[in-house]
A and B are shown apart, each in its own frame.
Chain A
Amino acid sequence: MTITIGIVIGYLALLLTLGLFSSRRSRETSEDYFVASHSIGPFMLLMSVFGTTMTAFALVGSTSKAYVEGIGTFGLLASWAALLHALSFYVVGLKLWAIGKRYGFVTQCQYFRDRFESPAIGYLLFPILVGLVIPYLLIGLLGSGRVMAGLTQGAFPELFEGGAIPPWLTAGVICCVVLLYIFFGGLRGAAWANTFQTLFFMLMGLVAFLLIGDKLGGFSAATQAVMEVSPQHLAREGMMKPVKFLTYAFIPLSAAMFPHLFQHWLTARDARAFKLTVVAHPLCIMIVWVPCVLIGIWALGAGVDLPPAKSGAVLGIMVNMLESPIMSGLITAGILAAIMSSLDSQFLCLGTMFTNDIAVRLTGDISDRQKLAMARAFVVSIVIITYLLSLANPVKVFELGVWCFSGFTGLFPLVVASLYWRRVTKAGAFASIAVTAISWLYFFWRSGYGHTEGLVMGAMPVTWIFLMAAAALIVVSLMTQPPGEKTLAKYFPRHG
């Protein structure tokens, strides 16, 4: 176990070195800190966008969900995400990048304020976006803690209760590493680190898949073992209903409103940089999710016996079965890489939002150096707050993620309408945001604060949140005064 932990620590040190090295390329301006001076090319954009969207939710959550609900887990999210993420990048991301670059926006609130001619909309959106990103951050910290706890079960009986490295320690170390490289390197540091981490976790995911399959006597034997103990996990009948399977489609639409993704889009050097992301993102999803789902169901055949509430430890336990300290260390480092490649961007986007949407607006004109210092101070504060929140150890990773995504999806009609519908109004936007917030809170409360999916008539609550938000947007917009000509000319210029 010492070798395994040593490899994980070595990986973290390597990552830190890379992150700090990339910060030497930093131009020490706020534009470089927030959007890497719009200089990121196609490959790094793909890696950072993919790495950012794949977190503990994709690795730990998918394995755990497959262990509980079977192979349908892939169709619930991965294949929907393959299609709808790529579509969102094309339809929303590309256009927001163009607008952000032309008018100098670095946060969504800045864009919406200008688009709807309303400073107030920024103050309304800000707490909602922050409130939705923080649970998303928690997913990463909780996931890392649970993987390490699963991996080190019984290894350190003299040091920790239960012999496993406690989640608070893993989360603390992860926070410190991520904080260090984004503190100095900003989004440029995050993009470099993400590229390295995404390649590493994809490779390690494949290696884990091959080795675990081999350990279980080969792929066929591993699946046959599941066929014997729990054949229902190999299909969807009895595991989930078609309506739920269909309405999970609304979840990946959330990507269009992720603040951290918005910020990554803005780093693109030019529109062409998006091409590779649109094409390769679905392939990357397949490469990561298929092995995770198979490992999740194979755990049943391998005799892993956990209650659903503890299923987050499945991946760690399966890796531990390899009994090879070196491979266990590398694969665990790969899992942590996936988690950290999201955490960095999320921490940074919150720092960016606090700086630009609140602090700068309240303090008035400040120098670029002051803005940079402020952003760094906010990033440190957010890391500390999130770490403290993670100590409460809330609900299962997958469910927490789904609730968080549901909120972002409620804002999807708003962002699409703002880009493509001239007639959408400020009042319509306010109504849509309010309906999203109220309906989300209602469904979240109804689900026992995220302890269940809270299906309504068999459909995911996100379906109703989305439909109500869209209806409020359309109805109120049609009943109220259209935006001014100046704004329309700015956002919907005509040819010639």
Chain B
Amino acid sequence: MRKLVIVLVVLLMILHQDFWLWDSKTLVFGFMPIGLAYHAAYCLVTAFVGWLAVKYFWPHSVDDLLVVGNGEERQ
């Protein structure tokens, strides 16, 4: 799961460059330009990835944070 979250973060960085919507003036729900709607949805996905990180690899204690090799996956 830890690796999956890292991959998702990298993927999010790449997906930020939505060049395919660069000149599109299509409106979503009749009022929101698609370039804006895409990035609003991007924030939702980011929150979901944050939730995965928090749920699956969160340190137990201060010691966990400070010791080398910390942040191991936990269930």
Residues of A within 8 A of B (CB): 71-72, 74-75, 78-80, 82-83, 86-87, 90, 94-95, 98-99, 101-102, 213, 218-220, 222-223, 227, 231, 234-237, 242, 245-246, 249, 271-272, 275, 278-283, 285-286, 290, 293-294, 297, 491-495
Contact = CB atoms under 8 A, between A and B. Distances in A.
Nearest to A102: B62
B54 A278 contact: yes
A227 B34 CA distance: 13
B24 interface: yes
A70 to B, nearest CB: 8
Contact of B39 (A78, A227, A294): A78
Contact of A83 (B12, B17, B51): B12
A235 B22 contact: yes
A245 B9 contact: no
Contacts of A493: 66-68
B25 A231 contact: yes
B47 A271 contact: no
A282 B50 contact: yes
B32 A279 contact: no
Contacts of B19: 242
Interface of B: 9, 12-13, 16-19, 21-25, 27, 29-33, 35-36, 39-40, 42-44, 46-47, 50-51, 53-54, 58-59, 61-62, 65-69
Nearest to B68: A492
22 contacts: A71-B33, A75-B35, A83-B42, A94-B59, A94-B65, A95-B66, A98-B65, A101-B62, A102-B62, A219-B32, A223-B32, A231-B25, A235-B33, A236-B35, A245-B17, A249-B13, A271-B58, A281-B50, A491-B66, A493-B67, A493-B68, A495-B69
Contacts of B46: 79, 82-83, 86, 282
B10 to A, nearest CB: 11
A80 B15 CA distance: 11
Contacts of A280: 47
Contacts of A102: 62, 66
Residue from B33, B44, B62, B65 with most neighbouring chain A CB atoms (10 Å): B33
A280 B50 CA distance: 8
Contacts of A72: 35
A234 B12 contact: no
Q: Is the interface of A mostly helix, strand, loop or mixed?
A: helix
Contacts, number: 137
A461 B18 CA distance: 22
Contact of B23 (A78, A80, A236, A245): A236
A74 B40 CA distance: 8
A495 B44 CA distance: 37
A98 B34 CA distance: 41
A222 B31 contact: yes
A275 B25 contact: no
Given A83-B12, A271-B62, A279-B50, A494 B67 contact: yes
B19 to A, nearest CB: 6
Given A95-B65, A271-B61, A286-B40, 16 more contacts: A71-B35, A75-B16, A75-B35, A78-B43, A79-B46, A82-B46, A86-B50, A90-B50, A220-B30, A220-B31, A236-B22, A245-B17, A280-B47, A282-B50, A283-B43, A492-B68
Given A235-B22, A271-B65, A79 B39 contact: yes
A352 B62 CA distance: 24
B18 to A, nearest CB: 8
Given A95-B65, A293-B36, A227 B44 contact: no
Given A82-B46, A223-B32, A223-B33, A246 B40 contact: no
Contacts of B43: 78-79, 82, 282-283, 285-286
